[in-house]
Amino acid sequence: MEYNAKTIEKQWQEYWAQNRSFEPSEDFNKEKKYILSMFPFPSGRLHMGHVRNYTLSDAFARYYRQQDFNVLHPIGFDSFGMPAENAAIKNGSHPKKWTYDNIDYMKGEFKSLGFSFSKERELATSDELYTKFEQGFIIDMYEKGLLYRKKGFLNWCPSCHTVLANEQVIEGSCWRCDTVVVKKDMNQYYFKITKYADELLEDLHKLENGWPKQVLTMQENWIGKSNGLEFQLRFDDASFAKLKKNFEGFDVFTTRPDTIYGVSYAALAPEHEIVTYMIENSLLDDETVTKIKQMKNASSIDRQKEKSGVALGLDVLHPLTNKKIPLWVANFVLMDYGSGAVMAVPAHDERDFDFAKKYDLPINAVIKPFNGELESDKAYTEVGELFNSEMFDGLNSKEAQIKIIEHFQEKKIGKKTTNYRLKDWGVSRQRYWGAPIPFVHCDNCGIVMEKKENLPIALPEDIEITGEGNPLEKHPSWKHCKCPKCDGDAIRETDTMDTFVESSWYFLRFCASPKNWQDEAFSKEQIKYWMHRKGHEGVDHYIGGIEHAILHLLYARFFTKVFRDLGYLEFDEPFEKLLTQGMVLKDGAKMSKSKGNTVDPDAIIEKYGADTARLFILFAAPPTQELEWNDSAVEGAYKFIKRFYDRSSHVNKISAIPYIEHSTLSKEEKFARKKVYEALVRAQDVYSEKYTFNTMIAGVMEAMNALNLQANRDIWSEGYWILTSIMEPVIPHVCWEISHNFFSLKNLTPQSVLEEVFVEDTIMLGVSINGKSRCEIEVTPDASKESILEAAKEKAQKWLEGKTLVKEILVPKKLVNLVVKD
């Protein structure tokens, strides 16, 4: 029987499908594992990154099934989103058809890779049922004040014709198409994620043992909590008059109140209301107005690069010294952080320093290093000792920060404040292929929620997609509806939701029983079992790409907390352990269509089979590291599987591991057994913490080599029984075939480690003469001191000849040292 991947794989895939082999049981008394990989967008075909992701989660799922856990390993499709519309524009296909055709194709790929997903909990987020539940949650959130509508400057992608969340603007460009993002003033809906900022930050501690440090840091920075002082900078009389007494001053936020005596100018964001007022009331000359407009229109990336600004011809007063301070507009001051205005301390802040140098503004140092001199050609941004700071002179920065904040609070001119970088999450998208936001605009009643019994508000199918504007807006009838409150004529909201909303709760949706799939978004009972047991909370293992380290994970954590507050859950964090896989590279670069260095998974399966692809992926690199595609290593993986299969002909058909009297075995036989059990030991900690599939597989390969050296069929059979169970999570098809042939599938159960195989028959001791290592002797562990020394002297004879032995030293289990003189 020659190894034929195609026949074997097809046969087992059919067997698994027919036997519902991977459906979790609803017996909630069993120990459980919820293994989840980040679900794919149905782009058309799987790429190697997907294959790596799902091979990993599949190995976890299969391993825990072997260990007799009840395993939930579901899959779905994150199927709303712009590419469906882009395809519609390009080839005239309907987004729905494009999406569901792709889903069908990709499901076929999942099957041909042997992934052990639950079929009965499959979902696509564009399913009307999913939309129905989601719209229900949106209404709940609106009622709780967690969703609101406001006008604001929004990131607008001119190419995708849509609003983008801050998180979707990467270095000033659209995260999807790379077009430079511009600002646009419009209404949209926001989730009040900032209400949870502190909790999202604090609860990162709960994840310290289960999440990569890097991801925790990225989340922490994104939330960006800073403590500081907020106070008002007041205009002097002349400036107050110039502004027609409309503004007394403006608020600034600083994290360095200890530098307050070093303030030498103040700066407003170009979008600040005072600036707008001055432009609208012609208080600025044309040249200044032009400069300000340029600053506003620049992409945020340019605003970070080159500092620019312009003076407003106004002065504010220093809050403690009452000295006049000039007011500028500066491009590096951002409207959506703090209060959109800063007190500038060029001596101690780099941005302020660059700006002061460029516009020749004073630089007043007030902090010096504890022991050392200030350098004059750059900002000293560390903490230190205060000087030129009146009554605060001599304090260190930390003390001064506390004292100065206290001073401001006593004088009632400022207060301690906390600021977050995190912004509320804007979710409106002016696109067709998304979940409609379930609201209605009524002339009498304003914004009105849809009634839950009218959900889902589904998308119309007869639309025209041109790439210009929102197809829902242009549809002749869809948006015309009745007001749910007064029954008058009303207009539906035509914005759809950011697709990150769907991926924020899909892991909960998998916790619906297939029996009640149509009726409930998820069941409290199932959630309790799958996500909240015995001091653990969340999915046991969540596996996916590092590119989701911020957005998706933050939003999913936010939804979990919101759902808890809505009474749907009783825990705080959705994912207990997170494994972020490394990228798949070819020729040193990330595999991508644009670089033309992709390898098509289907072609690999066609040529070698799924098991080969899976083995290569898990063997070539630890999961968190980059994986460099290597054709000859793929070939090598194939050859190993072929040999593993072909050599199984040495195995006896057995129904239990035969009893083997270890002490009677030959040296080679003992060695082979030891290698087999070593591989088993390595396999056991791979899934709980180390994730070192590569060393586990290397252990199996070594064991195979050791088995090949001898002919005892009992040892072959025992070895195969164990190695097949270790390898099943990696190369399931061929392992099920071998098990079926020889062990009637029984070996796919956990094995216990036999300690006796690790007991060494002999140990090697080094022999040194006058401290210099010369040779080795082999002795039994229980050999007497005399016999060991005897053996050492015999072996070292040629170095002892003609010398006088003065001392014999034995360091037990390590070495013998013989001291001689001439």
**Sites of contact with ligand ANZ (CB under 6 A):** 226, 253-256, 259, 332-334, 337-338, 340, 342-343, 345, 348-349, 419
Task: Based on DSSP, count helices (H) and strands (E) in the chain, helices before strands.
Answer: 26, 36
Q: Which is nearer to ligand ANZ, 340 or 729 (CB)?
A: 340
Q: Which is nearer to ligand ANZ, 348 or 407 (CB)?
A: 348
Q: Which is nearer to ligand ANZ, 256 or 586 (CB)?
A: 256
Q: Which partner, ligand ANZ, Zn ion, none, binds residue 318 by CB below 5 to 8 Å per kind?
A: none
Please report how close the Cβ of residue 372 comes to ligand ANZ at its closest, in angstroms.
18
Q: What is the 3-state secondary structure (H, E, C) of 180-216?
A: ECEEEEEEEEEECHHHHHHHHHHHHHHHCCCCCHHHH
Residues 333, 252 contacting (CB under 8 angstroms): no
Q: Give the burial class of 247: count Cβ atoms within 10 A of its Cβ; 0-12 exposed, 13-18 middle, 19 or more buried.
A: middle
* Furthest C-alpha separation in the chain: 118
Q: Which of 444, 666, 705, 762 binds Zn ion (CB under 5 A)?
A: 444
Distance CA 346, CA 645 (A): 72
Cβ density class 740-756: b for 16+ within 10 Å, e for less: eebbeeebbeebeebee
Distance CA 730, CA 59 (A): 6
Dihedral sign, Cα of residue 635, residue 636, residue 639, residue 640: negative
Q: Which is nearer to Zn ion, 444 or 688 (CB)?
A: 444
Of 177, 127, 137, the closest CA to residue 157 belongs to 177
Please report how close the Cβ of residue 180 comes to ligand ANZ at its closest, in angstroms.
21
User: 550 is written with which tokens?
Assistant: 């911020």
Q: Which partner, ligand ANZ, Zn ion, none, binds residue 345 by CB below 5 to 8 Å per kind?
A: ligand ANZ
Q: Which partner, ligand ANZ, Zn ion, none, binds residue 701 by CB below 5 to 8 Å per kind?
A: none
Of 11, 73, 1, the closest CA to residue 736 belongs to 11
Dihedral sign, Cα of residue 716, residue 722, residue 726, residue 727: positive
If one asks whether residue 483 binds Zn ion (CB under 5 A), the answer comes out as yes
Q: Which partner, ligand ANZ, Zn ion, none, binds residue 254 by CB below 5 to 8 Å per kind?
A: ligand ANZ
Residues 181, 156 contacting (CB under 8 angstroms): yes
Among the listed ranges 242-250, 327-335, 443-451, 757-765, the one in contact with Zn ion (CB under 5 A) is 443-451
Please report how close the Cβ of residue 444 comes to Zn ion at its closest, in angstroms.
4
Q: Which is nearer to ligand ANZ, 137 or 265 (CB)?
A: 265
Q: Which partner, ligand ANZ, Zn ion, none, binds residue 486 by CB below 5 to 8 Å per kind?
A: Zn ion
Q: Which is nearer to ligand ANZ, 287 or 375 (CB)?
A: 375
At CA 246, angle to CA 240 and CA 249, rounded to 5? Answer: 60
Q: Which is nearer to Zn ion, 210 or 484 (CB)?
A: 484
DSSP H or E run through 790: helix 785-795
Q: Which is nearer to ligand ANZ, 227 or 708 (CB)?
A: 227
If one asks whether residue 356 binds Zn ion (CB under 5 A), the answer comes out as no
Q: Which partner, Zn ion, ligand ANZ, none, binds residue 333 by CB below 5 to 8 Å per kind?
A: ligand ANZ
Torsion angles phi and psi, residue 80, rounded to 5:
-85, 160
Please report how close the Cβ of residue 426 comes to ligand ANZ at its closest, in angstroms.
19
Q: Which of 201, 374, 445, 745 binds Zn ion (CB under 5 A)?
A: 445
Residues 60-89 that bind Zn ion (CB under 5 A): none
If one asks whether residue 486 binds Zn ion (CB under 5 A), the answer comes out as yes
Distance CA 817, CA 792 (A): 9
Rg (CA), the chain: 35
Q: Which partner, Zn ion, ligand ANZ, none, binds residue 338 by CB below 5 to 8 Å per kind?
A: ligand ANZ
Please report how close the Cβ of residue 337 comes to ligand ANZ at its closest, in angstroms.
4
Distance CA 265, CA 270 (A): 16
Q: Which partner, Zn ion, ligand ANZ, none, binds residue 442 by CB below 5 to 8 Å per kind?
A: Zn ion
Torsion angles phi and psi, residue 505, rounded to 5:
-140, 10
Q: Which partner, Zn ion, ligand ANZ, none, binds residue 819 by CB below 5 to 8 Å per kind?
A: none
Q: Which partner, ligand ANZ, Zn ion, none, binds residue 444 by CB below 5 to 8 Å per kind?
A: Zn ion
Please report how close the Cβ of residue 200 comes to ligand ANZ at its closest, in angstroms.
17
Please report how close the Cβ of residue 226 comes to ligand ANZ at its closest, in angstroms.
3
Please report how close the Cβ of residue 196 comes to ligand ANZ at its closest, in angstroms.
19
Among the listed ranges 1-9, 479-487, 570-578, 579-587, the one in contact with Zn ion (CB under 5 A) is 479-487
Q: Which partner, ligand ANZ, Zn ion, none, binds residue 334 by CB below 5 to 8 Å per kind?
A: ligand ANZ
If one asks whether residue 492 binds Zn ion (CB under 5 A), the answer comes out as no
Q: Which partner, ligand ANZ, Zn ion, none, binds residue 105 by CB below 5 to 8 Å per kind?
A: none
Q: Which partner, Zn ion, ligand ANZ, none, binds residue 624 by CB below 5 to 8 Å per kind?
A: none
Q: What is the 3-state secondary structure (H, E, C) of 252-300?
A: EEECCHHHHHHCCEEEECCCCHHHHHHHHCCCCCHHHHHHHHHHHHCCH
Please report how close the Cβ of residue 228 comes to ligand ANZ at its closest, in angstroms.
6
If one asks whether residue 182 binds Zn ion (CB under 5 A), the answer comes out as no
Question: Per-residue x/- marks for Zn ion, 423-442, CB under 5 A?
Answer: -------------------x
If one asks whether residue 485 binds Zn ion (CB under 5 A), the answer comes out as yes
Residues 575, 219 contacting (CB under 8 angstroms): no
| Residue 512 C-alpha from the chain's centroid | 25
Residues 503, 39 contacting (CB under 8 angstroms): yes
Q: Which partner, Zn ion, ligand ANZ, none, binds residue 94 by CB below 5 to 8 Å per kind?
A: none
Of 785, 762, 686, the closest CA to residue 726 belongs to 686
**Site size for Zn ion (CB under 5 A):** 6
Please report how close the Cβ of residue 142 comes to Zn ion at its closest, in angstroms.
16
Please report how close the Cβ of residue 451 comes to Zn ion at its closest, in angstroms.
12
Q: Which is nearer to ligand ANZ, 343 or 700 (CB)?
A: 343
Q: Which is nearer to Zn ion, 443 or 794 (CB)?
A: 443
Q: Which partner, Zn ion, ligand ANZ, none, binds residue 820 by CB below 5 to 8 Å per kind?
A: none
Residues 353, 262 contacting (CB under 8 angstroms): no
If one asks whether residue 246 binds Zn ion (CB under 5 A), the answer comes out as no
DSSP state of 707: H
Please report how close the Cβ of residue 330 comes to ligand ANZ at its closest, in angstroms.
8
At CA 176, angle to CA 174 and CA 178, rounded to 5? Answer: 50
Distance CA 651, CA 658 (A): 12
The torsion region of residue 521 among left (phi > 0), alpha (psi -120 to 50) and beta comes to: alpha
If one asks whether residue 297 binds Zn ion (CB under 5 A), the answer comes out as no
If one asks whether residue 744 binds Zn ion (CB under 5 A), the answer comes out as no
Please report how close the Cβ of residue 489 comes to Zn ion at its closest, in angstroms.
9
Q: Which partner, Zn ion, ligand ANZ, none, binds residue 12 by CB below 5 to 8 Å per kind?
A: none
Q: Which partner, Zn ion, ligand ANZ, none, binds residue 319 by CB below 5 to 8 Å per kind?
A: none
Q: Give the burial class of 425: count Cβ atoms within 10 A of its Cβ; 0-12 exposed, 13-18 middle, 19 or more buried.
A: buried
Please name the residue that has the structure tokens 């020749």. Answer: 360
Please report how close the Cβ of residue 491 comes to Zn ion at its closest, in angstroms.
11
Distant-in-sequence, close-in-space partners of 798: CB < 8 Å, separation ≥ 6: none
Q: Which is nearer to ligand ANZ, 343 or 472 (CB)?
A: 343
Distance CA 764, CA 816 (A): 11
Please report how close the Cβ of residue 225 comes to ligand ANZ at its closest, in angstroms.
8
Q: Which is nearer to ligand ANZ, 231 or 645 (CB)?
A: 231
DSSP result, 635-700: HHHHHHHHHHHHGGGGS---SSPPP--GGGS-HHHHHHHHHHHHHHHHHHHIIIII--HHHHHHHH
Positions in the binding site for Zn ion (CB under 5 A) = 442, 444-445, 483, 485-486
